[in-house]
């Protein structure tokens, strides 16, 4: 297994280099300047030219990319053009832990509730629990997270307090533990629905397998059949989704963070796209790439723990 892990880690480097190169070329080919992204000429062309010379944007693309990679290897991701004189490392160091914490809570919420709903729906196929679980999954999946965020605020921070039921939820903030509840639900609702649907489908396929019929024919209790034989084998396709889900929600969500005033990284990525803040965009893309590659590796390792037939 160590050899397998080492091989996967080795391929992390060319993968990240390819992601950085593609992103760098696309940004370089985009018209405009990060110092005047809208072309509104808020500053003079001479001032823009001087700023580009100061930050090395007047050099050829290949030369700028080589300088960026060399600096990034040493932990220097440059100055954020849209947030001068802040460095990209300082912005990420301040905001990324908040986004990561929110993404972790949202993923845990989605996995626990989504898998539970999927199991209940599969075990009670075509029953009331099945229809209720499928309805919840469809509702959560079809609702954007910013719509879910506003509905949660209207319900728990406006309507219920006006009815004399104050549960302590506030609009915005990231200080008290209760401040994490509503953003977690809003961000984890759509992944929850996806996991519930996949769990239900996978569970139903496994329940109809011959070895499950054999286990029941031997007189094993239904709970033991579900937990030991069905659930364990049905989780493999579900686990495949957990890695990309965590990589997506763990690197920031613009709408959820804006609605609940979470001081995370999501809003910086969106504003950097609007302002062509190349250094910030590259850093976020690389973080997402590292997260996705690492989560895919972890998922592959978990496969072997769940199914002994899988070997590396």
- Model confidence over 114-141: pLDDT tens digits? 999 998 888 888 888 889 888 888 888 8
Q: What confidence score (pLDDT) does residue 112 get?
A: 93
Closest by CA to 246, choosing from 95, 112, 107, 111, is 107
- Model confidence over 264-281: pLDDT tens digits? 888 777 777 777 788 888
Q: Which fold has domain 95-273+294-306?
A: MetI-like fold (1.10.3720)
- CA separation for the pair 222, 228 (Å, rounded): 10
Closest by CA to 141, choosing from 197, 99, 202, is 197
CATH 1.10.3720.10 residue ranges of the chain are 95-273+294-306
Q: Kindly state the percentage of the chain with pLDDT values over 90.
A: 10
Whether 48 contacts 36, CB under 8 Å: yes
Q: What confidence score (pLDDT) does residue 191 get?
A: 92
Q: What confidence score (pLDDT) does residue 114 get?
A: 92
Q: Per-residue pLDDT for 192 more than 90?
A: yes
Quick one: three-class SS letters along the chain?
CHHHHHHHHHHHHHHHHHHHHHHHHHHHHCCCECCECCCCCCCCHHHHHHHHHHCCCCCCHHHHHHHHHHHHHCCCCCECHHHCCCEHHHHHHHHHHHHHHHHHHHHHHHHHHHHHHHHHHHHCCCCHHHHHHHHHHHHHHHCCHHHHHHHHHHHHHHHHHHCCCCCCCCCCCCCCHHHHHHHHHHHHHHHHHHHHHHHHHHHHHHHCCHHHHHHHHCCCCHHHHHHHHHHHHHHHHHHHHHHHHHHHHCCCCHHHHHHCCCCCCHHHHHHHHHHCCHHHHHHHHHHHHHHHHHHHHHHHHHHHHHCCCCCC
- Pick the more confident residue, 212 or 155: 155
What pTM, to 2 d.p., does this model score?
A: 0.83
Q: What confidence score (pLDDT) does residue 104 get?
A: 93
- Model confidence over 283-307: pLDDT tens digits? 888 888 888 888 888 888 887 777 6
Q: Per-residue pLDDT for 28 more than 90?
A: no
């Amino acid at each position: 297994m160590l050899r397998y892990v080492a091989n996967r880690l080795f391929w992390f480097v060319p993968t990240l280099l390819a992601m950085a190169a593609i992103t760098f070329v696309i940004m370089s080919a985009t018209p405009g300047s990060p110092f005047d992204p809208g072309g509104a000429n808020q500053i003079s062309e001479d001032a823009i030219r001087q700023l580009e010379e100061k930050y090395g944007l007047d050099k050829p693309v290949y030369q700028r990319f080589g300088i960026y990679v060399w600096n990034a290897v040493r932990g220097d991701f440059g100055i954020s053009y849209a947030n001068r004189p802040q460095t990209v490392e300082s912005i990420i160091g301040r905001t990324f832990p908040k986004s990561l914490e929110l993404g972790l809570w949202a993923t845990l919420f989605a996995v626990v509730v989504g898998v539970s709903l999927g199991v209940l729906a599969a075990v009670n196929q075509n029953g009331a629990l099945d229809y209720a679980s499928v309805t919840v999954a469809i509702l959560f999946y079809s609702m954007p997270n910013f719509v879910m965020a506003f509905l949660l605020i209207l319900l728990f921070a406006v309507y219920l307090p006006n009815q004399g039921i104050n549960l302590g939820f506030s609009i915005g903030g990231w200080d008290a533990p209760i401040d994490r509840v509503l953003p977690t639900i809003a961000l984890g609702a759509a992944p929850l629905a996806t996991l519930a649907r996949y769990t239900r489908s996978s569970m139903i396929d496994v329940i109809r397998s011959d070895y499950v019929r054999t286990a029941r024919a031997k007189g094993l209790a239904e709970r033991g059949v579900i937990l030991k034989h069905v659930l364990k084998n049905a989780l493999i396709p579900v686990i495949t989704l957990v890695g990309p889900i965590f990589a997506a929600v763990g690197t920031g969500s613009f709408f959820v963070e804006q609605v609940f005033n979470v001081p995370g990284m999501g809003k910086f990525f969106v504003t950097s796209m609007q302002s062509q803040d190349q250094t910030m965009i590259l850093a976020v893309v690389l973080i997402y790439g590292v997260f996705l590659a690492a989560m895919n590796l972890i998922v592959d390792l978990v496969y072997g723990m769940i199914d002994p037939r899988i070997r590396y």
